[in-house]
Amino acid sequence: MQSMAATLPLTALRTAFGERLREQHPLARYTSARLGGAADALVLARSADELATSAQALWDLELPFIVLGGGSNVLVSDAGVRQVVLLNQANQVVFDDQGVWAESGAGLGVIARQAAAKGLGGLAWAAGIPGSLGGAVTGNAGAHGSDTAAVLELADILHCTQGRQTWTAEQMAYGYRTSWFKAHPGQAVVLAARLRLNPMPEAEIRSAMESFNAYRRLTQPPGASMGSMFKNPPGDSAGRLIEAAGLKGLQQGQAQISPLHANFFLNRGGARAEDVYALIQQARQAVKDQSGVELQLEVELIGDWE
Ligand SMILES: Cc1cc2nc3c(=O)[nH]c(=O)nc-3n(C[C@H](O)[C@H](O)[C@H](O)COP(=O)(O)OP(=O)(O)OC[C@H]3O[C@@H](n4cnc5c(N)ncnc54)[C@H](O)[C@@H]3O)c2cc1C
């Protein structure tokens, strides 16, 4: 496939981003599944302000872009990404006695563990979730009966036409693993967020975290993956449906539907994104044939899938 790199205005990108621009930059290392091709252009953002000015510069250049946080909820195509990738490395975190404010590239699990050490409860559920705060805020990440919507107080947003704004959880239009952002791709960026926490004995928080982590170790496979591939349909679980369709353990190249949890698709080392995609198609079809349920992807397909 011919690269569209030539169609990106590289001179303008070099002028706008200088040493923060990487050309033909491999993306696999920025993803939890450790696979996928290169970005024609990748821009590093090391602070919320840099993230904001970079996003604004790309909108001004009328160049569509993708924000990449921890890369733990995306499947990057082997053919790579023709859009600009804005890599969010803004990770400042500031606690007070009622919560935490953090830049959106900060790790959610890191924030959760720091909160525990400070005797601030409310985030024990998040300790085992990889990825950035921005990814959690846009995808309403959640586990163990709680989610981001339950703790988000305010989010600092940059909107493509309305500029910098502060949004409440209500304005985020949260649902199960979804938000306003999922319905309006490319229209706004989460710069930072404030989470509401409450003082609690550290030992109590750590004990909750340990039992959540023990449950995770028992029910979810280790290794390179994207977490849950499909959303759970109402009243059921995607893993149960894929298992019932007989696909647990199915392998394609070096990609495999986990023998432990059928909603986890693993890169067993050297897998290609197209192998994972083939498993996605097989799982969808088999579940539809077996149960009549149309599984919806939780993971986002990024890049060139032609
Ligand atoms: C082993 C494993 C376990 C997991 N367990 C869970 C779990 O228990 N619960 C759960 O909910 N998820 C889970 N996940 C999925 C994933 O960790 C979460 O969805 C996480 O919140 C994604 O964050 P990220 O920074 O990696 O997002 P990315 O994968 O980088 O991006 C995902 C999407 O969010 C957008 N985005 C990211 N940051 C921003 C921003 N600042 N502004 C605007 N858009 C942005 C991206 O453009 C993309 O569309 C798991 C994943 C793995 C690999």
Residue 70 in contact with ligand 1 by CB distance below 6 A: yes
Residue 283, SS3 per DSSP:
helix
Ligand 1 pocket mutation pick from 75, 76, 81, 138 by most atoms within 8 angstroms of CB: 138
For residue 211, give both structure tokens.
């039992």
Residue 119, phi then psi, degrees to nearest 5:
70, 35
pTM: 0.96
pLDDT of residue 1: 37
Q: Is the pLDDT of residue 225 over 50?
A: yes
Residue by residue, DSSP assigns 150-208 as: HHEEEEEEEETTTEEEEEETGGGT-BTTB-HHHHSTTSEEEEEEEEE-EE--HHHHHHH
Architecture of domain 223-302: Alpha-Beta Complex (3.90)
Q: Strands, E, within the chain: which ranges?
A: 21-26, 38-45, 65-68, 74-76, 81-88, 93-96, 99-103, 120-121, 142-143, 146-147, 152-159, 163-168, 188-196, 198-199, 224-228, 251-252, 255-257, 264-267, 300-302
Q: Averaged over 187-212, what is the pLDDT?
A: 98
Q: Over the stretch 111-127, which tens digit does the pLDDT of each residue have? A: 999 999 999 999 999 99
Instruction: Output the CA 139–ligand 1 centroid distance in Å.
Output: 7
Mean pLDDT over all residues of the chain?
A: 96
Q: Which atom of ligand 1 is nearest to the CA of 104?
A: 41
Q: Which atom of ligand 1 is nearest to the CA of 225?
A: 53
pLDDT of residue 305: 87
Residue nearest to atom 33 of ligand 1 (CA): 135
From 1.10.357.10, 3.30.465.10, 3.40.50.2000, 3.30.70.1250, which CATH number describes the 93-203 domain? Answer: 3.30.465.10
Of 64, 72, 63, 25, nearest in space to 44 by CA: 25
Q: Over the stretch 62-74, which tens digit does the pLDDT of each residue have? A: 999 999 999 999 9
Residue 122 in contact with ligand 1 by CB distance below 6 A: no
Q: Is the pLDDT of residue 4 over 90?
A: no
Phi-psi region of 162 (alpha: psi -120 to 50; beta: other; left: phi over 0): alpha
Residue 179 in contact with ligand 1 by CB distance below 6 A: no
Strand-pair category, 255-257 with 251-252: antiparallel
Question: What is d(CA 169, CA 179) in angstroms, rounded to the nearest whole number?
Answer: 10
Residue 42, phi then psi, degrees to nearest 5:
-125, 135
Q: Over the stretch 151-163, which tens digit does the pLDDT of each residue have? A: 999 999 999 999 9
Domain residue ranges of the chain, discontinuous segments joined by +: 5-88, 93-203, 223-302
pLDDT of residue 135: 98
Please list the active-site residues.
177, 228, 298
Classify domain 5-88 by CATH number.
3.30.43.10
| Radius of gyration (C-alpha) of the chain in whole angstroms | 20
